[in-house]
Amino acid sequence: MSVRLTSFSRAHLLALLVLLTAATMFAASSIYDFVLPSIDGKPLPLSDFRGKVILIVNVASRCGYTPQYSALESIYEKYKGQGFVILGFPANNFGGQEPGTNAEIKTFCSTKYNVAFPIYSKVSVKGDDQAPLYGYLTTQANPSFAGDIKWNFTKFLIDRSGNVVQRFEPATTPDSPEVIAAIEKYLKQ
């Protein structure tokens, strides 16, 4: 038996979908409420990283800041044994600098920069199609660090309790003294 949707019911279905998506975003009380697909397409809940200090970064493979992958991997390797993790979120929002498929992004990260930290599937970090996680990070997580993502390699530091405690703009490299000091501070807590 097939069901034919009328334009009236399609409109209601679309409105319900938009409402549920918005409700999910606004119902979130921490980053642990979000589940996104990994670069391999499998669900990877952020709650898997509960109790760790997390650096969330929107990444791109054709950006002037792309060499930051080296510093990201270096600090990941240095601190991962202490409960630190980096979560990379490829995004194509700025100048088409992440045009590849998830498979191409994964290959690029592993062959060019030997990335071992978790990478998620490509997301949108701003605009009408903004991923709910980024809606949360840029509006609700911590008003002190709210605001649109302005470019690739914006970094959010999350403490062991899931609170956004610092935001670093793209020009601030992952291995800069201020980022390292913040990571070390929250690793001690």
The CA distance from 56 to 36, in Å, is 13
Q: Element (H or E) spanning 16, and its range?
A: helix 7-27
* Closest listed residue to residue 36, CA positions, set 137, 152, 107, 186: 137
- Among 63, 91, 137, 179, the active-site one is 63
Please provide the size of the chain in residues. 189
Q: Are 187 and 53 in contact (CB under 8 A)?
A: yes
Strand ranges in the chain using DSSP code E only, listed in sequence order: 35-37, 43-45, 53-59, 84-90, 155-158, 164-168
Query: Within a 10 A sphere around the Cβ of 182, how many other Cβ atoms?
Result: 19
* 109 classed as catalytic: no
**DSSP 3-state of 65:** coil
Q: What backbone phi and psi angles, to 5 degrees, belong to 156? A: -115, 125
Catalytically active residues are 63
